[in-house]
Structure 1
Amino acid sequence: MSTEGATGTPKSEGWEPNILAFCCNWCSYAGADLAGVSRFQYPPTVKVLRVMCSSRVEPAFILKALKDGADGVLVAGCHIGDCHYIDGNKNAQVRINNTKKALEKLGFDKRLRLEWISASEGLRFSEVIRDFTEEIKRLGENPVKKIKEPQIKAPRVAPLEGASALAANIQGSEVK
Structure 2
Amino acid sequence: MSERYEPVIVGFLCNWCSYRAADLAGTSRLHYAPNMRPIRVMCSGRVDPQFVLKALREGADGVLIAGCHPGECHYVEGNIKALRRYILLKRMLRQLGVEEERVQLVWASASEGNVLAEAVNRMTEQLRALGPLRWRETVLSGDGYRPSPVPQRAAPAAEEV
Give TM-score, length-normalised by structure 1: 0.74
| Deviation for aligned residue 1:45 | 1.4
1:19-75 deviation line (CA, Å, top 9, x unaligned): 001000000000000000001011111101100000110011000000001000000
Q: Is 1:107 aligned to 2:78, yes or no?
A: no
Match of 1:57 among 27, 43, 47: 47
- Pick from 66, 69, 78: which aligns with 2:59? 69
Unaligned runs of 5+ in 1: 2-11, 151-176
Q: Does 1:26 align with 2:16?
A: yes
Correspondence 1:35 to 2:17: no
CA-based RMSD of the aligned residues comes to 2.0
Spell out the pairing of 1:5-154 with structure 2 (5 A cutoff): 13-108=3-98, 109-144=100-135
Code of the aligned partner of 1:31: A
Q: 1:25 to 1:70 in 2, by over 3 A?
A: same
How far did residue 105 of structure 1 move? 1.1
State the AA in 1 paired with 2:25.
A
CA distance in 2, matches of 1:105, 1:29: 31
Give secondary structure in 1 for the equivalent of 2:64: strand
Q: Which letter does structure 2 place at the counterpart of 1:141?
A: P
- Secondary structure in 2 aligned to 1:41? coil
Where in structure 2 are the equivalents of 1:155-174 lying within 5 Å? Answer: none
1: CA distance, partners of 2:117 / 2:5: 20
Unaligned runs of 5+ in 2: 143-161
Letter in 2 for 1:115: V
Q: Is the 8 A contact 1:68 1:145 kept in 2?
A: no
Q: How many residues align?
A: 139
Q: CA deviation at 1:132?
A: 0.6
Amino acid at match of 1:91: K
| d(CA) in 1 for partners of 2:97, 2:24 | 34
What secondary structure is seen at the aligned counterpart in 2 of 1:14?
Answer: coil
Moved over 4 A (4+): none
Q: Alpha-carbon deviation of 1:107?
A: 2.6
Secondary structure, counterpart of 2:29 in structure 1:
coil
TM-score normalised per structure 2: 0.81
Larger radius of gyration: 1
Distance 1:92 1:146 in 2: 28
